[in-house]
Amino acid sequence: MTLPVIEKARSGELALGTFVFEFATNGIGRLAAHAGAEFVLYDAEHTGWGWETLGGLVSTTRPTGVPAWIRIPSAFDRTFVSRALDVGASGIMAPMVGSAEVAAQLVDWAKYPPDGSRGAAFGVAHDDYRSGDNVATMRKANSDNVVICQIETVAGLEAVEEIAAVPGVDVVWVGHFDLTNSMGIPGRFDHPDYLAALDRVAKAAADTGTIAGFMPTSVEQATDLIGRGFSLLAYNGDLWLYQQALAAGLTAIRSAAKA
C-alpha cells in the first residue's frame, strides 16, 4: 500500500506539506503536522545537518503519522539514500536528476531485493527499534518509500518524460531557481521558457502516472501551479515562514502604535 498522501496526489487531488531548513527542534515536525501539513521535507542539501540531527527530526515527526522525507545532498551517492531511509525517513528527494539512468539508480538504491539493492538492517530506527517479520518489512518499505527526482537542469528537463516513466519514481519535482539558472534566465519566473518548462513537467507526470511537485512560496504561486497540474506542494520553508510572519506582526504593531 503506497502512502495515502502519494495516492492522493497521484489521483490529482491536492496534497500539501512543507519544507524544513533551519529549525532542528523536537517540535518542528509536530508543529507542521498540527498545522495541517500532510508531509514534511527535511533538507540535507542546503543545510549543515548531520545524520544524528536528521534522525532526530524524523523520529519526532513519525508519531504524528505524517510522512517525513529527506532531501539528500546528491543523487550520486548510495550512502545518502541508505542513511536517509535507515534513520526512518519514508522517502528521499534527490537533487539535479538529469537522466533516466540516474533516476533508475536511485530507485534501485531505495528498494530492497527483489526490486532493488538496498542494504538490509532491521530493528533499527526505520523499524522504531522493533523486531518483526523482516520480509514483510521489506515488502512494505518497497511499496511505501517515496522517490522524488528534482528537475532543475536543462538536462533534467530534456529527459523529464523518461525520468517520470522510470518504475519506482513517484514524483518529478521542479527546483525552480536552479532550473532558471541552468536555462540562462536566473530568477525569471515569468519567462515564457520557464512557464513552458513547468507545463512540460506537469504533462510528463500526467502522462506517466507520476506526480508533479513544487515548493511554492505564496498562495498566488501555489494557485498557478495547481492550475498547471501540480498536485504535491510543499508550502514554503520554516525560516521564511517565521521571518515573514514576524515581520508582518511587528509592522502591524508599529503601525497600530502610531495610530
Q: Is it the case that residue 104 has pLDDT exceeding 50? A: yes
The gap from C-alpha 27 to its chain's centroid, in whole angstroms, comes to 20
Q: Is it the case that residue 226 has pLDDT exceeding 60? A: yes
pLDDT in tens, 11-38: 999 999 999 999 999 999 999 999 999 9
Cβ contact 190:181 at 8 Å: no
Average of per-residue pLDDT values in the chain:
97
pLDDT in tens, 153-163: 999 999 999 99
* Domain ranges, residue 238: 4-258
Q: Is it the case that residue 89 has pLDDT exceeding 90? A: yes
Per the structure, how many domains does the chain have?
Answer: 1
Q: Is it the case that residue 2 has pLDDT exceeding 70? A: no
What average pLDDT score do residues 200-220 get? 98
The lowest-confidence range among 86-100, 124-138, 169-183, 202-216 is: 124-138
What average pLDDT score do residues 244-249 get? 97
Residue 237, H or E segment = strand 232-237
Q: What CATH number is associated with residue 191?
A: 3.20.20.60
Cβ contact 252:34 at 8 Å: no
> What is the band of 1 on the pLDDT scale with cuts at 50, 70, 90?
very low
The residue written with cell numbers 530568477 in the block is: 187
